Amino acid sequence: MMNNVPSSTIARGHSLSDEVAMRIRKSIESGSIEPGKRLPTEQELGEAYGVSRPVIREAVSILKSDGLVISQQGRGHFVNPQGASVFRLEPSFEDKEDLADLFHFLMSVEVAATEQAATRRTSSDLDAIRQQLDGLEVAIRENRNGVEEDIKFHRAILQATHNAYFICFGEFLDSRVRNLIRTARENTARNQDMIKRVQHEHEAIFKAIVAQDAEGARAAAKQHLNNAAQRLHIYLAPAD
């Protein structure tokens, strides 16, 4: 195995790519992989961590979005010699207080974005959001957790803001909170009544956006996040 990255394999779970990214990041920060040096190949990393090459590619993509890794066409991936000075979001899914803080943070972004989407959306935006809402219905009928459909639904709402900052930051959040959404959906999938309530929350958000009701969209998004927190057994104090 390689000398410059830890070679212990990763236990299977929901966040293999995030875990791999975290381990590579630690190797970089500790100096095991020096600035300007090329990362091991996908095959080498995959063997070191006991994961597939697609997992490695996604992990490297996360590091690239952080600015910690850069690509050189035809040569591979390298540690950014200038280092990374970007915002990081690495929630602890075992720490309820940390998750509560994360939900308060998400609320400040998602609620404001949903409100703006209601005022800026176009007819094509509505079609895109409706398509993802329908996709969630299909996932429910097929007894799937609907994680990807859920992410795409909220991503379509961010696109409807026509605000590059919301859109770019939303892409950043996708890779960091995907597993949180997955856990919420899996908890929900065990209860048909809860599944219906979640979908009603999505429908309420969509209806407010259709009506260009900014305040209604804000309230619906806020309620959805509060309920999502409760579905994860995290009880948040009402946010102003």
DSSP string, 192-220: HHHHHHHHHHHHHHHHHHHTT-HHHHHHH
Token pair recorded at residue 139: 């996932």
Sign of the Cα torsion 189, 193, 197, 202 reads positive
User: Measured between alpha carbons, how far is 81 from 70 in angstroms, rounded to an integer?
Assistant: 9
Token pair recorded at residue 36: 């300007």
User: Measured between alpha carbons, how far is 125 from 158 in angstroms, rounded to an integer?
Assistant: 10
Neighbours of 201 (CB within 10 A): 18
User: Measured between alpha carbons, how far is 68 from 184 in angstroms, rounded to an integer?
Assistant: 30
pLDDT in tens, the chain (240 residues): 455 555 555 544 446 888 898 899 888 888 888 888 999 999 999 999 999 999 999 899 888 877 788 888 778 899 988 765 555 666 666 677 777 788 888 888 999 999 999 999 999 999 999 999 999 999 888 888 787 888 889 999 999 999 988 987 887 777 667 666 666 666 666 677 788 888 999 999 999 999 999 999 999 999 998 888 887 765 444 444
Which pLDDT belongs to residue 167? Answer: 87
Identify whether the C-beta of residue 129 lies closer than 8 Å to the C-beta of residue 159: no
Which pLDDT belongs to residue 12? Answer: 44
- Amino acid at residue number 240: D
Instruction: Select from 170, 183, 179 the least CA-distant residue to 233.
Output: 183
Which pLDDT belongs to residue 158? Answer: 94
Which pLDDT belongs to residue 87? Answer: 58
List 72's β-bridge partners, or say none: 76
Which pLDDT belongs to residue 232? Answer: 73
Q: Is 174 exposed, middle or buried (0-12, 13-18, 19+ CB in 10 A)?
A: middle
Residue located via tokens 């996709």: 135
